[in-house]
Amino acid sequence: MSTDNNSQENNKIKNKEEQEKSKVKEYTIELKNLTKRFGEKVAVDNLSLNMEKGTLTMLIGPSGCGKTTTMKMINRLIQADEGEIKLNGTSVYDIDPVQLRRTIGYVIQEIGLFPHFTVYDNIATVPRLLKWDENKIKKRVEELLDMVTLDSSYAYRYPLQLSGGERQRVGLARALGADPEVLLMDEPFGAIDPINRLKLHDSFLEIQEEIKKTIVFVTHDINEAIKLGDKIAIIRAGKLVQYDYSAKILYNPANKFVENLLGQDRSLKALTLKKNKDFVSNEGVITVSKDTTEDEVLKLLQKKNQIIAFVLDKNDKLVGRYWLEKAKKDKVEINYDEEPILIEQNNTLNETLSTMFACGEKLLPVVDRRNKFKGIILLDKIFEEFNK
Ligand SMILES: Nc1ncnc2c1ncn2[C@@H]1O[C@H](COP(=O)(O)OP(=O)(O)OP(=O)(O)O)[C@@H](O)[C@H]1O
Ligand SMILES: [Mg+2]
């Protein structure tokens, strides 16, 4: 990336900072000079960190640097030795721990679903503790299953009958059960394979756009941190190394440790800050219904001088793709894909670029988490953005 671009980015960051300064900040979680020792070992060392209402803060750092310990101090599963923890201005030590944990949803790495409970009963756990009536609980479970895009037939399955990604979705639904204000998520997607992890990221970001919770999210994966986080807190040996907006960290790493964490390909990683949905286009895009015949599609494509048509069902879900190929002697052939390669709107340009390289397509359809067609993205657009 050129110096010019860097200074442009820096200006953008500065403007954003000034806007931020003029806003009155509402902190949901405030950690002040927090310290926790286990015997001789200082697990968390004089840590101060404020999380604004409705933001997603990523905690990242090497194994054993104190991330889980910090999360557990917030919901009082572990008692801090020194320092203060405030939730909406009140010390957590002045809140009854049971009450506290109801206002804070917790998603842990091993998901922690109750194996002998159905999905329904898992999600209903906290609402039942709160003695909601069963009708209200039923509505809430249905709403949450829909939110994490599991259909209602999942309600009566047991955790062992689900895939890792599905279990993770149920874990998220359960943590959201009684609509807590704060979510603590400790490597929630750590055990999921990369492809399903991308899908979960996408759903998760869309869900957060809807629910705007204050979320603290632990990860080992810098790409995950850049992609999901509004802000990133980098921790090393219990101490805070840098805490800032993702863009600011990418363009101005505080020291060598942060630089190493970001890796060599920082300019590619900058594409991770850009979401597909901001680059989607509908220009010249042809969509047809499931009832359109192959002949009709061919005529339409030739008339509009296009080579691809996307097939949508009545809910605008992408269900197929027609494409023209030059056969011999100027004859064109029409082909059909039942499972076209697609990308999700909240995936990043960086991921889209990898997908395009992997499948050799310069144009891919973009969908939301419910598979609704949103438009297309072009390789040229990504190159343009990269070269800016
Ligand atoms: N109950 C405990 N007793 C003794 N030491 C502990 C205890 N819990 C954590 N520690 C130590 O405190 C340090 C911080 O642990 P913590 O679990 O917070 O790390 P982490 O950043 O979450 O690591 P990881 O990325 O591997 O999950 C580690 O050195 C760990 O061994
Ligand atoms: Mg941990």
Q: Domain limits of the chain?
A: 3-8+26-269, 278-387
CATH class of 3-8+26-269: alpha beta
Q: Which residues of the chain have pLDDT under 50?
A: 1-2
310's enclosing H/E stretch is strand 308-312
Q: Give whole-number Cα distances, 116 to 113, 128, 130, 271, in Å.
A: 9, 17, 21, 43
What tokens does 166 get?
A: 């599905």
Q: Which of 35, 65, 109, 219 to mutate to test the pocket of ligand 1 (most atoms within 8 A of CB)?
A: 65
Architecture (CATH level 2) of domain 278-387: Roll (3.10)
What is the 371 CA–ligand 1 centroid distance (Å)? 40
Residues 333, 325 contacting (CB under 8 angstroms): yes
Give residue 18's pLDDT: 66
Residues 59, 218 contacting (CB under 8 angstroms): yes
What tokens does 276 get?
A: 């597909």
Ligand 1 pocket, Cβ-based, cut-off 6 angstroms? 38, 41, 43, 63-69
What gap in Å lies between CA 235 and CA 67, rounded to an integer?
Answer: 8
Phi–psi pair at 88, nearest 5 degrees: 45, 45
What is the 174 CA–ligand 2 centroid distance (Å)? 20
Q: Closest Cα to atom 16, ligand 1: which residue?
A: 66
Atom of ligand 1 nearest to the CA of 187: 27
Atom of ligand 1 nearest to the CA of 69: 18
Q: What percent of the chain is helix, strand and coil (3-state, nearest 5)? A: 40, 30, 30
Atom of ligand 1 nearest to the CA of 78: 1
Give residue 1's pLDDT: 45
Give residue 200's pLDDT: 79
Tens-place pLDDT, residues 248-296? 898 889 999 999 998 877 777 788 888 899 999 999 999 999 999 999 9
CB atoms within 10 A of CB 183: 21
Q: Closest Cα to atom 18, ligand 1: which residue?
A: 66
Q: Which residues surround ligand 2, an ion (CB under 5 A)?
A: 68
Q: Closest Cα to atom 6, ligand 1: which residue?
A: 38
Half-sphere exposure of 341 (CA within 13 A, CB side): 14
Question: Rounded to an integer, what is the distance from CA 66 to the centroid of its chain?
Answer: 23
Half-sphere exposure of 92 (CA within 13 A, CB side): 29
Residue with tokens 């403007």: 15
Residues 6+ apart with CB under 8 A from 311: 287, 288, 289, 290, 292, 318, 319, 320, 321, 322
What tokens does 386 get?
A: 């990269």
Give residue 155's pLDDT: 95
Give residue 97's pLDDT: 86
Q: Which of 31, 34, 35, 38 to mutate to test the pocket of ligand 1 (most atoms within 8 A of CB)?
A: 38
What gap in Å lies between CA 172 and CA 375, rounded to an integer?
Answer: 29
Residues 46, 34 contacting (CB under 8 angstroms): yes
